[in-house]
Amino acid sequence: MTNSPPASVQPLLTADGIPLKTSLQRSMRRSKLRAIFLVLPPLIFLLSLFIIPIGNLLTRSTDDTLINYQLPLTFAMIDQWDRKTLPEENLFEAIYLDLSSLNKYLISDNFADSVDPNDPAWRVRIPKKGPYRDAMIEIDPRWQSASTWLPIHEIAMIGVNAQGTERERKNKARRVQFKICAYLTPLTNADCTKLYKVLQVWDGASEPDEALFEALYKDLRSANKFLVGKSSTRMNYGKPGFKSLIKKSSRKLKKVSEPPYRDAMIKADKRWGDVAFWQSLVTMQEPQTTGYYLNAVDRKWNKDHEIELQPAERRVYVMLWWRTFLVSLIVTVGCLILAYPVSHLLATLPLRYSNILMICVLMPFWTSLLVRIVAWMVMLQQEGVINDTLVMLGLPDENRLPMMYNFTGTVIVMIQILLPFMILPIYSVMKTIPPSYMKAAQNLGAPPALAFLRVYMPQTLPGVGAGVILVFIVAIGYYITPELVGGKDGRLIGNMVAYHMQKSLNWGLAAAMGSILLAGILLLYWIYDKIVGIDNMKLG
């Protein structure tokens, strides 16, 4: 406000005597509330189904805490090792304790504390057949007091007090068993059945007795088995062979109870005598790691905490990133070349022809993706329609063109599938350009080509920009088409993400690749904004 009214002037009043300002504010507030109310459902939708999963993805790509739960002592001691020769007895003892017994972490849930390898609690052995109480209290005296047990007792009571039919109560009790274990361990898929049983009869105040400790020990022990399973999957990403090494040794080490552990472990599996496995352990030490990002570009941490290339035969991701980028680029350019004239026709033809043309554009768009892919297979395969025609026209039979199950196939099919995403934005912009502009340019002496280049084309750029961005972004994450028609060299990074999500369960690597894709798209978006300006983009 430049001209604020003098204070003495009476404020403007509405008909009912309320100052106009207040009344205005009130009605504004009401409309704002209504706006928020209207926006709320999509906002919740976006938050719960998009933003939170993406945040989850980003954290998974650096998260390596699980393995640190499994091998705390080993990782605390491994820095003292020279990383060249076979480790001494003390490191063998550490990994033996980490693998064969319930470690202090699980019993005291003190993951945030730093690990003191000299703490005698690490070496307390809980007798397998009990009594458990004294040993566990020695590891963590907090378990002695009833108050430590109260939180899990409360969780158990939720199950006991569950309402509903017998079946519902049973299932609620079952979920509570998982919740108890999730409270005690980093796992959500372990079930503390024994604890649930004994906590029900415990009064919540008297001193915890042997029965409680036995249940605690046995449930943690079974959860630890799954932790070992998951850790070995993780360790196998670092060095193939760890999976069976851990499985085999944790079975055999049950019989070992006396030092020297070095000999016992090498006897259980001779790979413990292979220094390469130990060197690989060094790279898993950090709870927050950039290792998955490095893996996604064919690199890894080595034993000296330096970045090095993966072994030659495992280098595949850089090649796939380039291929993905290249395919997206070719598809985008291909779509643009094909879409521009079609959009122009759509925008300029008389209505009854342009309608037919529009249906031709939209029909494939509405057809199932799989149907279109199969149709392309029929057309492009070596015994397909196109090759048959070429052979009929004189192409030698043995020179049939390979156009399917390779790079070419992926590009052709993707161009056809993504074409409408290019045509529609360009068309919608062209539709708004009055034909009189071209006529005026020509009237003023421009030859048709120049008039097109200087007058018409610049006006279509917002649509072109929108189409290009849309097609490129969709193409770079494409998955199903390359999977079906990609064959030997047409599969993209998206297929690797799917492989690691579904098959190898290396979610860290999949998340890292997803994050890189996301970052790449944001980068392109930023470049586009700098060069063309995002305000210029028009989707219709």
Partner 1 sequence: MSKHLLATTLASAVIGAALAVPAHADVTIASWGGAYTMSQQKAYADTWSEGTANFVNYNGGLGEVRTQVESGNVTWDIVDVLPHEARVGCDEGLFEELPRDVFTPAADGTSMDDDIMVSVPNDCVVPQIFWSYVPFYQEGTFDGNAAGNPKTIADFFDVANFPGKRGIHTWGNALVEMALMADGVAPGDVYSVLDTAEGMDRAFAKLDTIKDHAVFWSSGAKPLELVTSGEVSMALAYNGRIGAAMLSEGAPFVINWDGQVLEEEWLAMLKGTPNADEALKFLIHASAPEQQAGQAKWITYAPMRTSGIGLIEAGEPWFNTGVNIMPLMPNAPAALSQMHLFADPDWWADNGDSISERFTAWMGQ
Cα 430-431-433 angle, rounded to 5 deg? 65
Interacting span for partner 1 (CB under 8 A) from 95-103, 455-463, 465-473, 487-495:
487-495
With CB under 8 A as the contact rule, the residue among 403, 422, 484, 516 that binds partner 1 is 484
Min. distance of Cβ 154 from partner 1 in angstroms? 18
What is the nearest approach in angstroms of partner 1 to the Cβ of residue 505? 6
Span near partner 1 by CB under 8 A; candidates 56-64, 212-220, 350-358, 499-507: 499-507
**Whole-number Å distance between alpha carbons of 228 and 234:** 10
Stretch that binds partner 1, among 6-14, 130-138, 457-465, 479-487 (CB under 8 A): 479-487
Binders of partner 1 among residues 149 to 188 (CB under 8 A) are 167, 171, 174-175, 178, 187-188
By CB under 8 A, the count of residues binding partner 1 is 52
Render 192-261 in DSSP notation, one character per residue.
-HHHHHHHHHS-SSSPP-HHHHHHHHHHHHHHHHHHHHHHHHHHHHHSTTHHHHHHHHHHHGGG--SS-H
Tell the burial category of 284 from Cβ atoms under 10 Å away from its Cβ (0-12, 13-18, 19+). buried
User: If binding is defined by CB under 8 A, does position 195 make contact with partner 1?
Assistant: no
Of residues 83 and 271, the one with the C-beta less far from partner 1 = 271
Question: What DSSP state is assigned to residue 434?
Answer: -
Distance of CA 154 to the CA centre of its chain: 34
What's the rounded Cα separation, in Å, for the pair 286 and 315? Answer: 24
CA 176 to CA 182: how far, in whole Å?
A: 10
User: Is residue 506 part of the contact set for partner 1 (CB under 8 A)?
Assistant: yes
Binding mask 302-321 for partner 1 (x = CB under 8 A): -----------xxxx--xx-
User: Which residues within the stretch 441-470 sit at the binding site for partner 1 (CB under 8 A)?
Assistant: none
Cβ-based nearer residue to partner 1, 76 or 180: 180
Which of the ranges 42-50, 117-125, 232-240, 285-293 carries the binding residues for partner 1, by CB under 8 A? 232-240
Residue 153 contacts residue 183 (beta carbons within 8 Å): no
On the CB side of 128, how many CA atoms lie within 13 Å of its CA? 7
Could you give the string, one character per residue 379-418, with x where binding to partner 1 holds by CB under 8 A and - elsewhere?
--xxx---------------------x-------------
Q: Which is nearer to partner 1, 319 or 359 (CB)?
A: 319
Which of 126/492 has CB closer to partner 1? 492
Tokens (6 digits) for 253: 């080490």
Please name the residue that has the structure tokens 């033996």: 96
- State the binding string over 317-356 for partner 1 (x if CB under 8 A, else -): --xx--x---------------------------------
Report if residue 376 touches partner 1, rule: CB under 8 A. Answer: no
98 near partner 1 (CB under 8 A): no
d(CA 472, CA 418): 9
Phi then psi dihedrals of residue 119, to 5 deg = -60, 120
Residue 26 or 170: the one with the smaller Cβ distance to partner 1 is 170
Contact partners, residue 390, CB within 8 Å, separation at least 6: 400, 401
Decide if residue 108 touches partner 1 (CB under 8 A).
no
What lies within 8 Å, CB to CB, of 266 at 6+ separation is: 272, 273
Q: Which two tokens stand for residue 307?
A: 């970045």
CA 476 from centroid of its chain's CA atoms: 16
Closer to partner 1 by Cβ: residue 429 or 509 = 509
Contact set with partner 1 (CB under 8 A) = 167, 171, 174-175, 178, 187-191, 223, 225-226, 228-230, 232-233, 236-237, 240-244, 247, 313-316, 319-320, 323, 381-383, 405, 483-484, 486-489, 491, 496, 499, 501-506
